[in-house]
Copies of this chain bind each other. A is one copy, B any other.
Amino acid sequence: MAVALDEIDVRLLKELQTDADRPNVELARIVGLSPAATLNRVRRMKEAGVIRHITARLDSATAGFALQVYLLVTLARHDDAAERRFAAEVASLDHVISADSVAGEIDAILMLVAHDVAELHVTLSRLSTRGGASRLVTLLRLAELKPSSPLPLRATSVHSRRSA
């Protein structure tokens, strides 16, 4: 599932995770390759799935969402049908902007946004009723401690095997 990356790939990925909003020629200068070679590497990494997509990251507050909330969810039941039902409900709720299932003290962790408490309330209710959540712990996001940061990538050291 993992993909081999050399030092140049790692450098490219680091740059693209930080700021993908610049010309390919600039990336090429940074990594010391020609624009064509740079373009090829980036295209390959997209095809390989290392780069999932390139997107704009918005500031939720500036976009009008006064409330940003993490939700720790415990499901009432854990059979396949219940889990599918929950996933479907999560998918249908616009205010849930991401969700992961997890192993640990809870079953899933969700990120939601809302303009006000009433809007939040509607989403929470839906998750309890239609979603089948038995316990919802709401964590109000107060501040960003560390912004979304690049992955600490390492080059796949194929050549170091020679000395091993």
By a beta-carbon cutoff of 8 Å, the part of chain A in contact with chain B is: 1-3, 5, 13, 16-21, 48-66, 70, 72, 86-87, 90-91, 94-106, 108-110, 113, 115, 137-154, 156
Given A91-B146, A149-B97, A151-B113 in contact, is the A53-B49 Cβ separation under 8 Å?
A: no
Given A53-B21, A62-B1, A153-B63 in contact, is the A145-B87 Cβ separation under 8 Å?
A: yes
* Cross-chain contact A104 with B140 (CB below 8 angstroms): yes
Provide 30 A-B residue pairs closer than 8 Å at the C-beta atoms, listed in order of the A residue.
A1-B62, A2-B61, A3-B64, A13-B63, A17-B57, A19-B54, A49-B62, A50-B62, A50-B63, A51-B56, A52-B58, A54-B54, A64-B153, A70-B102, A70-B104, A70-B109, A87-B146, A91-B146, A94-B149, A97-B149, A98-B148, A98-B149, A99-B145, A100-B143, A101-B143, A101-B144, A102-B139, A102-B141, A103-B139, A115-B154
Given A16-B56, A55-B57, A58-B50 in contact, is the A146-B98 Cβ separation under 8 Å?
A: yes
* Cross-chain contact A48 with B62 (CB below 8 angstroms): yes
* Cross-chain contact A139 with B51 (CB below 8 angstroms): no
Given A63-B2, A65-B151, A102-B142 in contact, is the A54-B52 Cβ separation under 8 Å?
A: no
* Cross-chain contact A106 with B56 (CB below 8 angstroms): no
